[in-house]
Chain A
Amino acid sequence: MHAPHRTEPPRLTADADPSSRLLILAVAGLVLTAIGYFVDHEQFYFSYLAAFSFVASLALGSLFLVMIHHITRSSWAVSLRRIPETFMVNILWVAIMFIPVVLGMHTLYHWTHADAVAADALLQGKAPYLNVPFYLVRNVFFFAVWSFFAWKMYRNSLELDATGDWGIDTLQRKYAAPGIFIFGFSVAFASFDWLMSLDPHWFSTMFGVYFFAMSFQATLAAIILVALFLKNRNQTAGLVTDNHIADVGRLLFGFTVFYAYIAWCQFFLIYYANIPEETLWFYHRMEGGYEYITYGLLIGRFIVPFVVLLNAKSKSNMSLLKGVAIWVLFIHFVEQHWIVMPVHHHHLAPHWLDLTAIAGLGGLFLWLFFRRLGKAGLVAVNDPKFHESQPHH
């Protein structure tokens, strides 16, 4: 079945396209970060991993959002969907951004040291899983699977734009359903590899869910910001309204609570049981200045957005929503720092490389995003549920 009238989607105009500015940011950030490698290569790898985790979480959160959108056959997000779709395709580039992490494995991951493993019965026990070849195989597999689903679903969406063939909507669901199943396991195990195994003695069954929860909260904030950016520059021909963005705000509120629930339960169960093999991870984050971030996360990542967004009106207040979204992304970055850095510095020691790494990777990520966004329509106007997603009825 085809759309009754195929229409042309609005496109990003050259004057609104921030690509050139983002490219400058990306190049400046990456060059400085590269210089930083020669200044302090250990710091370089840790700062890089935190920034990598930040951008990867946005691509993965978007992949989840697009898949859940199709599975639930939701209509409200159709006019916004091109934003997470374009984010999720960036997973192909995130796979390339992963190469420096692989190169820095020896610095980042204690379990790669043969002498450390030889002297540590626990690490010997984990060696069948925590070894370099298997780590590489797993991660190649993860990126291949994510790239496959992201690319297929992105191409299908553009195909629907071009042909107005409504059958593609059904096809998307056929990708999304098994996709989300594989997504759950792969993201959990990837988060074990990237972040949990930084402290190879520590373990938490919740960690995969925790990584997903914070990624998704941050993804919603990123989508709000891009949607506001496009709308304020009149790029979407009025097809993205304040109501659509307010709906993302409502989800942001819900997933702020979900994040807090998951993060708090993980902390609380470990705190309450108080057995040394688990508490050490939090112990390192409760001393040496990291305790300020720990309490800051409780206040900044949960209480502040919760209180601000609780009121129904605040989700329709676009400037307020913008402020909250920027804040959530900022604190998401701080949380990556808080997860990664205590492994390297026992005392809170922010480094200029932390900033250049996120400027470089974040700038690159956004540049790739806007470049791709500029090549396709900004709104999936030929989607069968597009009409339903518009406010005029």
Chain B
Amino acid sequence: MSQSTTYVPEPALVKGNHTFGSITALIADISEKPAPTWWYIAFGAANLLLGLLLVLIGYLVYEGTGIWGITNPVGWGWAIINFVWWVGIGHAGTLISAILFLFRQGWRTAINRFAEAMTIFAVICALVFPGIHIGRIWVAYWMFPIPNSMQMWPNFNSPLLWDVFAVSTYFTVSLLFWFVGLVPDFATLRDRVKSKLAAKIYGVLALGWTGGNRQWQNYEKSYMILAGLATPLVLSVHTIVSFDFAVSIIPGWHTTIFPPYFVAGAIFSGFAMVMTLMLIARKLYGLKDIMTDDHVEKMNLIILVTGNMVGFAYIMEFFIAWYSGVTYEKAAFINRAMGPYAWAYWTMFLCNVISPQFFWSKKMRRNIKVSFILSIVVNIGMWFERFVITVTSLAQDFLPSSWGYYSPTWVDIGTYIGTFGLFFTFFLLFLRFMPMVAIAEIKMVMPQADPHHYDEKHG
């Protein structure tokens, strides 16, 4: 019996017949050599946007949230949309570093460092929004249950408080995980840099790493434990974020599929963001041997799968809204698809459900231009998803007399754009001064790491 298909063996994870030494040089040289011109231009632009963010936050503190587009009943506007969007983006980093590690997915080593850095910076951007949306920013510490003489406590029944715990735990664990992974690579940089000051700084960060057997054993154990701790966080953080909406009885918000749907959406947008950043970085730094087209293909598959999960949730929501027979649910969903924000709903649907379907084709999955464009399209779609959820349900709520059309102000838009400045300032510093690929880990998955690699040539 003849089949038309042929067997496709697993591709090698690192291309270009590198040696261990050339891999170290490829990655570590980036921080040793002077920064390229584009880096200074990009860093300057990011700083300008960061400045814009800080100015607008100052304006907000001075003037109050009235400078935003929020109204009554749309009390949650761009701030929560941006918060959920940035937190969601962070999730891919944790999935790559923790879950793919537990599943022994060797290909994660090319992108995990990178994605973990993205997680941390994205969570910082996310935390800006609830931090500045509280009105009286000078009492932001009231978000924490700190014993005080006024007997003032946050509402422990509120998912918004759980968010404070969930996101701060998530940030802490992600940071620790990232740092633990960096220790052996900091030692590599310490041993390579010429500047005495740089060697000292990398030396402090490397915690006295010498690469001894005992150190590696402890390292592997702690890495495993942190991966185990981070895995439930992938689910828990966005679950709590979804609770912010789903515990209420607002039509369109209260639906039981929200927790896994939000998690899938978060991984979806996070992978798209990793893709965008990775395609730029590998081109600018010439890392195509490490971040290969096979990696692009694998990531596009995850984008396809999570995109379909999100599509599944959209369809379930719509079907059950009809099936429930609840007038308000039905009205909320018809309003989404055909009401004043229909343009946003269909933008979301097109970007999140239709656009990833291109990746059923192997040719598309491996096409760099298509991957790059779609990765941006997906993140536009995921922003609109949060917009649709937040705004459509609030702008047309139970009381028709208060119905209206929500529009952002220039401050809303400027603050959102400003967070990109914050994100890229950190990210460019990371690219400049830290090893952007886990040097020690990538060597373990190189074909050359196979003890029999050099045997084969001699038969």
Binding site for B on A (CB under 8 A): 1, 73, 121-122, 125-126, 129, 159, 163, 165-171, 174, 177, 181, 184-185, 188, 192, 201, 203-209, 257, 261-262, 265-266, 269-270, 272-273, 275, 277, 384
Smallest CB separation, A283 vs chain B (Å) = 16
B41 within 8 A of A: no
Residues of B whose CB lies within 8 Å of any CB of A are 1-10, 232, 235, 239, 243, 246-249, 254-260, 308-309, 312-313, 315-317, 320, 323-326, 360
Q: Is the CB of A205 within 8 A of B325?
A: no
Residues of B within 8 A of A384 (CB): 7, 9
- Is there an interface contact between A170 and B7, defined as CB atoms closer than 8 Å? yes
Q: Report whether A204 and B7 are in contact in the complex, using a CB–CB cutoff of 8 Å.
A: no
Contact (Cβ within 8 A) B246 A122: no
B255–chain A nearest beta-carbon distance, Å: 5
Q: Is the CB of A270 within 8 A of B256?
A: yes
Known: A171-B5, A203-B324. 6 other contacts (CB 8 A): A126-B323, A208-B316, A265-B258, A269-B243, A273-B248, A277-B326
* A181: chain B residues within 8 A (beta carbon): 308
Please tell me if the beta carbons of A269 and B1 are within 8 angstroms of each other in the complex: no
Given A204-B256, A269-B247, answer yes or no on A129-B5 (Cβ-Cβ < 8 Å): no
Contact B313 A205 (CB under 8 A): yes
Q: Select which of B256, B315, B360 is within 8 A of A265 by beta carbon.
A: B256
Check A269 against B324 for contact (C-beta < 8 Å). Answer: no
Inter-chain contacts of A204 with B (CB < 8 A)? 256-257, 320
A122 and B256 form a contact (CB under 8 A):
no
A125 nearest CB neighbor, chain B only: B325
Which residue of B is nearest A1, CB measured? B7
- Cβ–Cβ < 8 Å partners of A126 in chain B: 323, 325
Interface centre among A122, A205, A257 (most CB of B within 10 A): A205
- Whether A184 contacts B312 in the complex (CB less than 8 A), given A167-B6, A171-B3, A171-B5, comes out as yes
> Which residues of chain A are within 8 angstroms of B232 by Cβ–Cβ distance?
257
**Which of chain B's residues have a CB closer than 8 A to the CB of A125?**
325
Q: Which residues of B contact A203 (CB under 8 A)?
A: 320, 323-324
Chain B residue at smallest Cβ distance from A120: B325
Q: Which 4 A-B pairs have the closest CB atoms?
A: A166-B7, A205-B257, A206-B256, A170-B5
Docked-complex contact B6 and A272, CB < 8 angstroms: no
Complex contacts, B315 vs chain A, CB 8 Å: 185
**26 contacts across the A-B interface (CB closer than 8 A):** A121-B325, A163-B1, A168-B3, A171-B3, A171-B5, A174-B5, A185-B312, A185-B315, A203-B323, A203-B324, A204-B320, A205-B256, A205-B316, A206-B260, A207-B256, A208-B316, A261-B235, A261-B260, A265-B258, A269-B243, A269-B246, A270-B256, A273-B246, A273-B247, A275-B249, A277-B324
Q: Give the complex CA separation of A205 and B4 in angstroms.
A: 41
Closest chain A residue to B451 by CB distance? A393
Closest A residue by C-beta to B224: A312
**In the assembled complex, how far is the CB of residue A143 from the closest CB belonging to chain B, in whole angstroms?**
21
Bound: A158/B407 CA distance, A: 61
Q: Which of A188, A192, A269 has the most CB of B within 10 A?
A: A269
Contact B7 A269 (CB under 8 A): no
Q: Verify B8–A170 contact, CB threshold 8 A.
A: yes
With A170-B8, A203-B320, A203-B323 as given contacts, are A261 and B259 in contact (CB-CB < 8 Å)? yes
A269 to B8, CA, bound (A): 46
Residues in A whose Cβ lies below 8 Å from that of B317: 205
Query: Would A1 and B6 count as touching, CB distance under 8 A?
Result: yes
CB pair B247–A165 under 8 Å, yes or no, is no
